[in-house]
Amino acid sequence: MAEATTFTIRYSFRFPDQTEKVFDVELDSQTGALIQPKRESYPSWTKLGLHQCRHCPLNKEEHPQCPVAASLVDVVDFFYDSHSINKVDVTVQTPHRETHRKDMLLFPAISSLIGIHMASSGCPHLNKLRPMVLHHLPFADSNETIYRALSMYVLAQYFRRKKGLTPDWELTGLSEIYTNINILNRDFSHRLANESDKEASRNAITSLDCFAQMIEFSITEEMLEELELQFAGYLSE
């Protein structure tokens, strides 16, 4: 079997003391799955049975570690004693996009990096977000994220129809996806709650949860009607 082509997203953090930390997130370019070397051991907070998400379909016999937690060991360890409101200069590089750079608070920067790991980790509830990882848009605002989530979901329904599956043109399943993500974010944060020095990482997860809730509650008929105005060119013969 031919070796999978990889896709790397690089996050570079430069701190006020001029030290720098680089995270290379390597993905399978076809599936969006995270590629990471196996560790000889994992910290105890990664065990699947520790604060396992209430809706997790995995079992600890087949999956000793939570896939999300296992994917985040390096990130959480590095930011172990960091504070959320510290300033940082972040540069993001992807193979197919120009470099993005921004001065920002630490916790939303970590949140963006954590989001990539989570969606590509192999968690069943987060697998549906993998197309957005392969088309990562650094520092996206809420409107951009909502549009990308909707576009991804509608394209998924086209592929479902091609496979003979029932498409969801009413978009009801998209809210369900983000409801499950909200539950996951809240439950996952409990893994870090007893790790008192992981304040920046916990707040990064909280930021992701707020973003997921914002997307879930923004997908309304009124919002879709507003978007419809942008598609006037498609709505006439």
SS (H, E, C) the chain: CCCCCEEEEEEEEECCCCCEEEEEEEEECCCCCECCCCCCCCCHHHECCCCCCCCCCCCCCCCCECHHHHHCHHHHHHCCCCCCCCEEEEEEEECCEEEEEEEEEHHHHHHHHHHHHHHHCCCCCCHHHHHHHHCCCCCCCHHHHHHHHHHHHHHHHHHHHHCCCCCCCCCHHHHHHHHHHHHHHHHHHHHHHCCCCCHHHHHHHHHHHHHHHHHHHHCCHHHHHHHHHHHHHHCCC
The answer to whether residue 1 sits within a structural domain is no
* Residue 77 is assigned to a structural domain of this protein: yes
184 within a domain of the structure (yes/no): yes
User: Would you give per-residue pLDDT tens digits along the chain (237 residues)?
Assistant: 445 588 899 999 999 999 999 999 999 999 999 998 888 899 998 999 988 999 999 999 999 999 999 999 998 888 877 777 788 999 999 887 778 899 988 888 888 898 899 999 999 999 999 999 988 888 888 788 888 999 999 999 999 999 999 999 999 898 889 889 888 888 888 777 655 445 555 565 655 555 455 556 567 778 888 889 999 999 988
This prediction has a pTM of 0.85
- What range defines the domain where residue 79 resides? 8-234
* Position 3 in a domain: no
Instruction: Examine residue 2 and state whether it is found in any structural domain, yes or no.
Output: no
Total structural domains within the chain: 1
Please indicate, yes or no, if residue 38 is contained in any of the structural domains: yes
